[in-house]
Structure 1
């Protein structure tokens, strides 16, 4: 089973979600074999057809230019290949649909927060008159460029930003994401750690919007389950020495440690296990759930667990994305990148415009957030329906998305994974 959650698509519900870590009152509907609890009854709040914009019937002749700022370098570089492959696959299939919309993608690097690569990349992309920019993967990086992008009237769409701070951010209704807020991942992670029998928890946390937001949600969930966080150690991007943080965690002797980092896990995990902490009591997150077969000694983290947003990868999508990049070893956020690209194209088609502001007006609608459209999973069917003036509700490989008025997905799946002796992970829930 997987952990499935829905949040009501209303401003009041979103505000409650934002306050979840503090108030302990959830507007999410959860069902989880991972937590061992009895799932509450599931309810639906239908999309509001009255908010839907009209869709012009007829053929289109549109050329859509999209840029990406995905990590080709920096502490999240391992996410770059699957994300760029997801975008490339979507662009290929959109063009192959031959429905009157041709998409061109310009790929640029986001770097990480220790560099100014993202700003340089965004400046370059805006000079080329892109309608939308996909990325960054890092929430911290996106915060450095979101104002620059949205001020230009361009859609900013991330496949992997999970910081809760984006929900209420003043973005002129131009920011969107296919990844759920870390209020959800933190709740799932905290509950999973408690369900595994830990009563005390240590946190090693990247000091940026992603790390601190996820840590806060994890802590709130774990404590609500009766546990106690006995150590919470922060570090900054670019730090190379973690001795003080690891010593403090070891001194607290927690039952479990959640490693909320990016690529720094390659340094801190061997150091922590080498100091005597059991590798099977570690918990990873989406920022570092990776293949460590070439980095760690065999068996170093056997039994360690981690969380990652997204449903189980479908075989058909795996084959299609591998045809784009046969060297992919990790598929994290590839489906979300694919769906971000598809939604931008469908919104442009629905608007019959490649202006960023026009695309943004239709993004929620084609995702099923408004309009009560028919569910579609095939690109050809989606374009055909739009050309006939019909409303659609796109469901892609990342699952149902259903964007709300903040640009957040209101339906999401969080997978539970476990590491084997070879330091690779597989889905267990």
Structure 2
């Protein structure tokens, strides 16, 4: 997702990918030895935990993901649980958009003896904890990580994600720019795993389509002033600008408009981090037409209104549902892998994760899939976020990417959905 990220904590609907949900810095591994235990203490009970944003810049992404995980557990337990036993209450930790906090949370969750961890939401925060989690022989599944560098990460098969890589979104974003007749493009992106990854994929696809990438610049998302960045864009003399950002993108857009480079003068394109109904109001309060004509792309969830209705019945306080379908699918894939392996030991069921998402009899609920597995039938779980069809790296091999725009009234509209497939 397909998906919306809220721009500021407390505001609704900003989509990440995503995350692309790739925000956050964080060094891979975190520099500490993983705690002992985890799934090595397999006891027939599948135990799950999460490391998701409850505070910090991405706190708005926490509730939909946490509640989606809890909802999935409730559905599984109503069906009799995994291996005949209910999944206990989730053990939670805050990623907080800070590597040190995410690492401490991961340590606490792992110390509780979980078999799998849901999260982190941001790719940067996953890179801060992935060695801790997978190094403890515990499965990790994110529903919103989109950074391409996670595809080939050395995780021994313990890390998977239900969100598509930005390597699949970049070509669609580039195709959208070129199809609109633009041939000289400036790309500006957050200097983090999400920004660099999507910028690289987009630049490569633009050049393969014959366009000139006049500027490909990253910036510090914590900067208080983007004037120099705007001047770099202006100096490149592009006829289109691609902006890969989160909430700080509102300031960049204001600067571009003030410099005479708004959507009325050049093509302006965003990605999942700017897919927000609030964006025009944040950029120019009282002037909803300010971004008329701006376009962008974002991972699209399957059109599944019944799931969203059911989720909101389970968690009535939810306002944002971004990446909820993907996290719901994370929990189900893990549970079905354990059922298929007949074990809650991550070292055993991790090898079934890819298998339960492809090349079998299609099923769409835990109950349906569990029944097939009990009869010795190979399954192909199609989730509430859409068909997963994992590639060997443990991520979707195809993705539905939405192309969106803002109309003259400032309303966010979906133009079309494009299928994008991995070369792997």
TM beyond 0.5: yes
C-alpha contact (below 8 Å) 1:259/1:285 kept by paired residues:
yes
The aligned runs of 1:23-422 (5 Å cut-off) are 62-99=44-81, 100-103=84-87, 104-112=89-97, 114-279=98-263, 281-292=267-278, 295-296=282-283, 297=285, 298-368=288-358, 372-421=359-408
Task: Classify the secondary structure of the residue corresponding to 1:364.
Answer: coil
Give 1:284 shift. Answer: 1.6
C-alpha contact (below 8 Å) 2:115/2:344 kept by paired residues:
yes
C-alpha contact (below 8 Å) 2:99/2:128 kept by paired residues:
no
Structure 2: distance between partners of 1:328 and 1:295: 22
The answer for unaligned runs of 5 or more in structure 2 is 3-42, 417-424
Structure 2: distance between partners of 1:82 and 1:416: 23
C-alpha contact (below 8 Å) 1:70/1:137 kept by paired residues:
yes
C-alpha contact (below 8 Å) 1:101/1:349 kept by paired residues:
no
Aligned-pair RMSD on alpha carbons? 2.2
C-alpha contact (below 8 Å) 1:73/1:109 kept by paired residues:
yes
Change (3 A) 1:425 1:64: farther
* CA shift digits 1:53-88 (9 cap, x unpaired): xxxxxxxx9532211122233343333333223222
Structure 1: distance between partners of 2:248 and 2:389: 33
Structure 2: distance between partners of 1:291 and 1:325: 22
* CA shift digits 1:87-120 (9 cap, x unpaired): 22212211222252422322322122x5422101
Please say which of residues 188-197 and 85-94 is displaced more in the overlay. 85-94
The answer for unaligned runs of 5 or more in structure 1 is 3-60
Give 1:154 shift. Answer: 0.4
Task: Classify the secondary structure of the residue corresponding to 1:64.
Answer: coil
Structure 1: distance between partners of 2:210 and 2:228: 28
Structure 2: distance between partners of 1:184 and 1:134: 23
Structure 2: distance between partners of 1:327 and 1:282: 35
Structure 1: distance between partners of 2:352 and 2:145: 21
Structure 1: distance between partners of 2:269 and 2:71: 32
Structure 2: distance between partners of 1:285 and 1:422: 20
Structure 2: distance between partners of 1:67 and 1:424: 38
Please say which of residues 333-342 and 290-299 is displaced more in the overlay. 290-299
C-alpha contact (below 8 Å) 1:62/1:102 kept by paired residues:
no
TM-score, structure 1 normalization:
0.80
C-alpha contact (below 8 Å) 1:349/1:383 kept by paired residues:
yes
Structure 1: distance between partners of 2:246 and 2:326: 19
